Amino acid sequence: MPEEFESNSGKEILWEQRRQEVEKIVDRLGKKIEGEIKEAVAAFRVSDFPTDGSCEGHIRREGEKKHGLPYPWVDICAPAPEGWQESKEKQMEWKKENLVLQQRMEELLSDFYRERETSDETRLGFKHHRPYGNFRLQSSGAETFESEIKKGNVPFEEQQQKLDVFRKEMNDLAEFLKQKYFAE
């Protein structure tokens, strides 16, 4: 059997294992990872980007209960070292690990966008929201979009269109990571 076939077979097994892991993940409310973000979470995990939260994005009609943000996102975070709460040294170690992940993601995003035409607001980037270097990957215009929705400036149909665009960008990155994984 050719070595390349054996290698790809092993990669396919690992890919499927990561997808199955994603199927089993539940959040603190007992909810599973949502369908529109599962493939991205699996792609990040198989590419050695640990995730610790995600959302497929949600919009709502007037009067409906708010659920989540109106754009997809994935939080990336190295596992916390044992005893990190009591140790400044371990906190710094954790922050360094997360900064390495961020640098790797920046390189992947640079490759992803090298020959890709995408609007600035759709382009994926980071939101830093934790003190230990953890980061959220989301579309650059996502928070402005959310603000405009809150002001009542975006009709429902336009919200749905924008959400679809943001989801497509995240899913295209997932497909890029998948192709890169199988090509290496």
**Are 53 and 76 contacting, i.e. CB atoms less than 8 angstroms apart?**
no
Q: Band of the pLDDT at 131, cuts 50, 70, 90?
A: confident
What is the pLDDT at residue 5? 44
Long-range contact list for 179-183, CB < 8 A, 24+ apart? 180/47, 180/108, 180/111, 181/11, 181/15, 181/43, 181/46, 181/47, 182/8, 182/11, 182/12, 182/15
What is the pLDDT at residue 31? 85
pLDDT at 4 over 60: no
SS3 51: strand
DSSP code of residue 86: G
Per-state percent for the chain, helix, strand, coil, to nearest 5: 55, 10, 35
Neighbours of 49 (CB within 10 A): 20
Average pLDDT of the chain to the nearest whole number: 89
Domain chopping of the chain, boundaries: 3-183
DSSP H/E element including 138: strand 135-139
